Amino acid sequence: GQNIDQPTEMTATEGAIVQINCTYQTSGFNGLFWYQQHAGEAPTFLSYNVLDGLEEKGRFSSFLSRSKGYSYLLLKELQMKDSASYLCAVRDRAGNMLTFGGGTRLMVKP
Amino acid sequence: DTEVTQTPKHLVMGMTNKKSLKCEQHMGHRAMYWYKQKAKKPPELMFVYSYEKLSINESVPSRFSPECPNSSLLNLHLHALQPEDSALYLCASSQDNGRNGEAFFGQGTRLTVV
């Protein structure tokens, strides 16, 4: 089975940097995903890590340590539009199941 | 093209109706998924199709019936639903294993059962 944990809520200031952590315990692992979801909308793909290390995409970076079962999403130069839920999801070894954590609701304040 | 297209965007149906949700992708992805999402909750996996074969059914009631006519299309047939089935239904697709294994979601169908 999969157990994926992330903080429920976070608050940060516009222009700042925020790190959202995700820890997982899984029976198999074949990649970790981060999604952004605004209220009432579908999740939008942000990043995918299957090897250890940092993947950078503009203002967003994602880090993975497979030995520690740990990932984080780093958001730089926060903007008000970054207020959303951020979902961590893990794919199992067979590549079939994509299981989500509970999501982290990020509020960006002026 | 990283698009997964779902239709309809909104659906209101009665408990005796039969309706279908449709999902389409042209990225050559061989895994396709149906998820159900209630408000303020993460998506919950319902079904997984891998190479057009149903590989996972997460104990979903038989009033939900998936179908994968070909590698680009995924349907979800609905019959005799209950009001508690009202939710956002999300389709997703992904590559198989490997480094380029991004998974993308469609915009969802917001279903209301009355």
pLDDT of residue B59: 86
pLDDT digits (tens, 9 = 90+) for A6-33: 999 999 999 999 999 999 998 788 889 9
B92 close to A (CB below 8 A): yes
Statement: residue A99 has pLDDT above 90: no
Average pLDDT score over residue span A91-95: 73
pLDDT of residue A34: 95
DSSP state of A41: S
Q: Least CB-CB distance to A96: which of B56, B90, B107?
A: B56
Helix (H) or strand (E) holding B113, with range, is strand B109-113
* Distance between CA atoms of residues A19 and A41, nearest Å: 23
Contact A41 B107 (CB under 8 A): yes
**Mutate: best of A96, A97, A100, A104, partner B, most B CBs <10 A:** A96
Q: Quote the minimal CA–CA distance from B7 to chain A in Å.
A: 13
Average pLDDT score over residue span B29-44: 92
Tokens of A96: 């079939």
Q: Least CB-CB distance to B56: which of A33, A48, A97?
A: A97
B89 close to A (CB below 8 A): no
Residue type, A3: N
pLDDT of residue A80: 97
Say if residues A35 and A43 touch (Cβ distance below 8 Å): yes
* Distance between CA atoms of residues B13 and B63, nearest Å: 13
pLDDT of residue B96: 63
Query: Which comes out higher in pLDDT, residue B101 or B113?
Result: B113
Give the residue from chain A lying closest to B57, CA to CA.
A97
Q: Kindly list the distances between the CA atom of residue A14 and the CA atoms of A17, A25, A110, B81, in Å, as whole numbers in the listed order.
A: 9, 33, 5, 44
3-state secondary structure of B82: coil
- Partners of residue A103 in chain B, C-beta under 8 Å: 42
DSSP state of B40: T
What length is written for chain A?
110
3-state secondary structure of B106: coil
Average pLDDT, chain B: 91
pLDDT digits (tens, 9 = 90+) for A29-60: 888 999 999 988 889 999 999 899 999 989 99
- Percentage of chain A with pLDDT > 70? 96
Statement: residue B99 has pLDDT above 60: no
Average pLDDT score over residue span B22-44: 92
Statement: residue A95 has pLDDT above 70: no
B2-24 b/e with 16+ CB inside 10 Å = b? eebebeeeebebeeeeebebbbb
Q: B2: pLDDT confidence band, cut at 50, 70 and 90?
A: low
A91 close to B (CB below 8 A): yes
Say if residues A86 and A22 touch (Cβ distance below 8 Å): no
Statement: residue B98 has pLDDT above 70: no
pLDDT of residue A30: 84
Residue B74, Cβ density class (10 Å: 0-12 exposed, 13-18 middle, ≥19 buried): buried
Contact A97 B45 (CB under 8 A): yes
* Distance between CA atoms of residues A32 and B74, nearest Å: 24
Contact A30 B107 (CB under 8 A): no
Q: Quote the minimal CA–CA distance from B17 to chain A in Å.
A: 25
pLDDT of residue B58: 83
Say if residues A62 and A74 touch (Cβ distance below 8 Å): yes
